[in-house]
Chains A and B, each alone.
Chain A
Amino acid sequence: MRGATAIIKKELRSYFCSPIAYVVLGVFLFVMGAIFAKFVDLYQRYNVAHQFGQAQGITIDKLATYLYQNMAFILCFVTPFLTMRLFSEEKRQNTLELLFTAPMKEIEIVLGKFFSAYFLMLIMLAVSFIYVFFMVLWGNPQLKIIGATYFGLALALACYVSLGALISAMTSSQAIAAVWTFIALLFLWLLQSLGQGITAAWGPIQWGPTLVYISPLGHFSSFTEGLIHIKDVVYFISFTLFTIFLTHRVVESNRWR
């Protein structure tokens, strides 16, 4: 696995040598900051209302759910910018030959690429702990719920990144990779609403619930409520593993196509 670690090291260096990591991180934090400001505003208003005996049942945990669901959605926009270059850039610069003629297995290349982007995303997640810090400072959130949410986010990111890597392996243009990754993630996300709209069953399969199950949104929601279901964990992990497997196949096919 030394080849994989060499690739991770090199990729992280490339991210931070170019403006891409800083720009993406900056935009992410800016948008999240705006949402958090809204969150604080809502929290205050509910608090004031609560003191006057009106509006009830709005807790900081409810609001945190709102915050993190937004975050998971925003990460859909962020992921393509970090995964787009993974393989497409290698193809464009003709450097795949270097990787393929080095004494290592293709899977090392794929895992190295996947983990480099994934680590960067985890760094972004780590930076967002600042919101937890403010919540604890001025409120009393249940840290267990927040812990479960971060666990869910980490799993969801793994599946976003793997999908981005797969699409990047299919093209030699970064822009095309980014656009398709975004479309794919958005589509997966929207499957939830689509599935809920379908009530009829065609043939033996209940299409509505199936589509809902395929969408990561529902699986992620339970984490934000502090519930860690095995089925959700299995969903994210199997999604990621399957996509990595496909990526491996696609990367391998680059040699004989």
Chain B
Amino acid sequence: MIEVKALTKKYGDRLAVDNISFTVNRGEILGFLGQNGAGKSTTMKILTCFMPATSGTASVAGFDVFESPYEVKKRIGYLPETPPIYLELLVSEYLDFVANLRKIPSSQKRKKIDAVVERCQLGDVRNRLIGNLSKGYRQRVGLAQALIHDPEVLILDEPTVGLDPKQVSEARGLIKSLRSERTVIYSTHILSEVAATCDRIIIIDQGKIVAQEAINLMGATGGTTKTEIVVQRSSDELTQALRSLKGVRNVQCLSNGRDRIVLETEASEEIMAEIARIAVAKNAGLIRMSPVHLALEDYYLNLISGKREVSI
């Protein structure tokens, strides 16, 4: 649905986006993750035809953003970082204005505005001045603006910044409800948000893509998983036995109160079963056995600080 090839954008001498390539499939929610100033917004601005790239190509639904911007713009709904709203208009006037800009036929206008008001829960504030609305409502008005013409592709630039926790979860719910109908690119620097809503993430740092993976694979680096077991009585015999197990790459003993052993193994279920069997056979008193999920946060911080090894 979206294809970006070798996209580069320079602001004067400063390289904002450096030769990035990625694709987004139809119906996918892609999280675009990076620090402030990493190049997320710039990439989005290029995709929405707001700004031309220095080099490289990008296409949306098969239309090139440089050659046929009109076709691209028709298919994209875009919510910039600051919602593009006019404080002096009523919510209804604003939506009417956007519907006209989007060239929605007047016969359908009413229906589409009603639908988007319902979807973004703007019914209560429909006849209020946008300038008098709270930040959360303004953000929703911005989202309504991006959805009004039923775009195939939705590009949201930090849609949950500045919302309170309840509004954040509502916004996430809204974005999730768009899954499968629409393709969504969604930028943020909040990790839990990505974990909660996206199918796939792209991590971008200093204009370069540093990682690009499906969300459930995150943390499983190089086919290695980590497992932690907690036992009552740790012994050298036990660690020796575990170490000699095929597929086990590293064994670490950590003692604080109880005996914890962390094993780095190949990612397979058989090894897990074998570890449990040995712990029981050595009569170590197995209390708990759990996979160590590499927190997305650690993963991310390690990535952007340039280290790929991960420690617990």
- Chain A interface secondary structure, helix, strand, loop or mixed? helix
Residue B191 at the A interface, CB < 8 A? Answer: no
Known A94-B82, A97-B50, A255-B52; contact A104-B89, beta-carbon cutoff 8 A: no
Interface size on B, residues (CB 8 A): 28
Q: What number of A-B contacts does a CB cutoff of 8 Å give?
A: 72
Complex Cα–Cα for A243 and B81 (A): 32
Q: Given B52, B78, B102, which contacts A97 in the complex, CB threshold below 8 Å?
A: B78
B246 smallest CB distance to A (angstroms): 57
Residue A231 at the B interface, CB < 8 A? Answer: no
Complex Cα–Cα for A17 and B98 (A): 18
Residue B247 at the A interface, CB < 8 A? Answer: no
Asked if B101 contacts A99 (CB within 8 A), the reply is yes
Residue B103 at the A interface, CB < 8 A? Answer: yes
Asked if A101 contacts B48 (CB within 8 A), the reply is yes
Asked if B73 contacts A6 (CB within 8 A), the reply is no
Asked if A98 contacts B84 (CB within 8 A), the reply is yes
Residue A50 at the B interface, CB < 8 A? Answer: no
List of A residues within 8 angstroms of B48 by Cβ: 97, 101
List of B residues within 8 angstroms of A101 by Cβ: 48-50, 73, 76, 78
A224 smallest CB distance to B (angstroms): 38
Asked if B89 contacts A14 (CB within 8 A), the reply is yes
Residue A119 at the B interface, CB < 8 A? Answer: no
Complex Cα–Cα for A33 and B45 (A): 51
List of A residues within 8 angstroms of B74 by Cβ: 103
Complex Cα–Cα for A2 and B105 (A): 10
Complex Cα–Cα for A99 and B78 (A): 11
Residue A38 at the B interface, CB < 8 A? Answer: no
B153 smallest CB distance to A (angstroms): 12
Residue A102 at the B interface, CB < 8 A? Answer: yes
Asked if B98 contacts A98 (CB within 8 A), the reply is yes
Residue A18 at the B interface, CB < 8 A? Answer: yes
List of B residues within 8 angstroms of A17 by Cβ: 88-89
Complex Cα–Cα for A101 and B49 (A): 6
Complex Cα–Cα for A34 and B87 (A): 36
Considering the complex, give the chain B residue whose CB is closest to the CB of A89.
B86
Complex Cα–Cα for A7 and B93 (A): 12
Asked if B101 contacts A3 (CB within 8 A), the reply is yes
Considering the complex, give the chain A residue whose CB is closest to the CB of B77.
A101
Asked if A103 contacts B78 (CB within 8 A), the reply is no
B179 smallest CB distance to A (angstroms): 23
Interface string of B10-51 (1 = CB under 8 A from A): 000000000000000000000000000000000001001111
Complex Cα–Cα for A94 and B76 (A): 18
List of B residues within 8 angstroms of A7 by Cβ: 101
Residue A51 at the B interface, CB < 8 A? Answer: no
Residue A9 at the B interface, CB < 8 A? Answer: yes
Asked if B93 contacts A93 (CB within 8 A), the reply is no
List 5 A-B pairs, minimum CB-CB distance, nearest first.
A6-B100, A98-B84, A102-B101, A103-B73, A95-B84
Q: List 15 A-B contacts (CB under 8 A).
A: A2-B100, A2-B103, A6-B101, A9-B100, A10-B89, A14-B88, A14-B89, A93-B86, A97-B48, A98-B145, A100-B50, A101-B48, A101-B78, A102-B101, A256-B51
